[in-house]
Amino acid sequence: MLREAVRLGSLTTLGVGGAADEFHAPETVEQVLDVVADCRRRGVPWRVLGRGSNLVVDDAGVRGAVLHTRALRELRIETEGRVVAGAGLPTSVLLQRATAAGLGGLESLVGYPATIGGAARMNAGGRWGEVGERIEAVQVVRCDGTWARVPVSECDFGYRTSALGGSFVVAVELRLPSVDVETYRGRTARIQAEKAAVQPLGERSAGCMFRNPEGASAGRVVDELGLKGLRRGDAQVSTRHGNFLVNRGAARSADVLRVIDAVRSAVARELGIELVQEVEVWR
């Protein structure tokens, strides 16, 4: 279960970053309970890694333990649209399997790489809804080492936020509506195509750098200030969408942070808007 010196960059979509002090990939909820209890006993801080699609990891690596969810990918499709997914299940697999079973309602997850655990933690989504709208409860291991079932009423889902930070989400319980499979497939394909037309989906990125400010679009603001294409080393503001930062090859975390700072400073200076970072920086 324990592996040392795993370069985290290779486990993220941006592809930047060094190793964690400790790396674990628990295979069962019991193993999650064990590793959390062990970290607690030793005073080692830990964090959870899903698909790594919202992260910038420091080149110098990460202090403490990183607990990867990749082995927790069980999927149960029950009756009446009830679905229970292990935290590490890729959302693309969830979409595919749920659709094949005649279940829809997951438009919010189309078009980007994630795990269902990471998506729940971030309440991921956008114009086509947020995943929290389909969640009934989340099963977690809390930082005090106890297991709990958190009903949606206590998840506090907001715009890319939830009350799940600090816990290890081990499984997500969803309730999905029945759909006509062909019509639904057409709908999700259209969403995918609409995103691909404006976002740099074929390139290495961590999605949007910033949250949208109230009533505005961070991408449009960056575009209007002429900041698309701004580059430091191999980190660059996408020439396609102003809120995406892409890795042109061998970007370092310092380059990525310089681009984020340059954009934030320019937007504050020119427009008086303080952009709030959406991507998380791990060090």
Cα–Cα nearest to 257, from 66, 52, 17, 65: 17
Q: Please say if 258 is a catalytic residue.
A: no
CA–CA separation, 178 and 34 (whole Å): 38
> Is 150 a residue that touches ligand FAD (CB under 6 A)?
no
Q: Please say if 41 is a catalytic residue.
A: no
CA–CA separation, 69 and 117 (whole Å): 8
- The interface mask with ligand FAD, positions 254-283, x = CB under 6 A, is --------------------------x---
> Is 89 a residue that touches ligand FAD (CB under 6 A)?
no
| Residue placing its CB nearer to ligand EPU in the complex, 27 or 280 | 280
> Is 184 a residue that touches ligand FAD (CB under 6 A)?
no
Residue 240 backbone phi and psi in degrees, to 5 = -95, -45
Q: Which does 263 bind (CB under 5 to 8 A by kind): ligand EPU, ligand FAD, none?
A: none
Choice from 122, 135, 222, 260 touching ligand FAD (CB under 6 A): 122
Chain Cα centroid distance, residue 261: 21
Of 29-48, binders to ligand FAD (CB under 6 A) are 47-48
Q: Which does 243 bind (CB under 5 to 8 A by kind): ligand FAD, ligand EPU, none?
A: ligand EPU
Given 121, 160, 204, 252, the catalytic residue: 160
> Is 206 a residue that touches ligand FAD (CB under 6 A)?
yes
Residue 99 in contact with residue 57, Cβ under 8 Å? no
| Residue placing its CB nearer to ligand EPU in the complex, 135 or 141 | 135
CA–CA separation, 280 and 141 (whole Å): 21
Residue 165 in contact with residue 61, Cβ under 8 Å? no
CA–CA separation, 43 and 245 (whole Å): 35
CA–CA separation, 192 and 177 (whole Å): 20
**Stretch of residues binding ligand FAD (CB under 6 A), selected from 92-100, 200-208, 229-237, 263-271:** 200-208
Choice from 19, 85, 164, 263 touching ligand FAD (CB under 6 A): 164
Q: Please say if 39 is a catalytic residue.
A: no
Q: How many CB atoms lie within 10 A of CB 135?
A: 22
CA–CA separation, 8 and 30 (whole Å): 24
What CA dihedral angle connects 188, 189, 193 and 195, to 10 degrees? 20
Residue 172 in contact with residue 150, Cβ under 8 Å? no
| Residue placing its CB nearer to ligand EPU in the complex, 81 or 207 | 207
Give me the residue whose beta carbon is nearest to ligand EPU: 126
Residue 261 in contact with residue 281, Cβ under 8 Å? no
> Is 205 a residue that touches ligand FAD (CB under 6 A)?
yes
Q: Which does 188 bind (CB under 5 to 8 A by kind): ligand EPU, ligand FAD, none?
A: none
Beta bridge partners, 77, equal 83
Choice from 168, 184, 252, 263 touching ligand FAD (CB under 6 A): 168
CA–CA separation, 58 and 45 (whole Å): 17
User: In the complex, what is the shortest distance from the CB of residue 216 to ligand EPU, in angstroms, rounded to a whole number?
Assistant: 9
| Interacting residues toward ligand FAD by CB under 6 A | 13, 47-55, 69, 87, 112-115, 117-119, 121-122, 124-126, 164, 167-169, 201, 205-207, 280
- What residues are annotated to the active site? 160, 208, 278
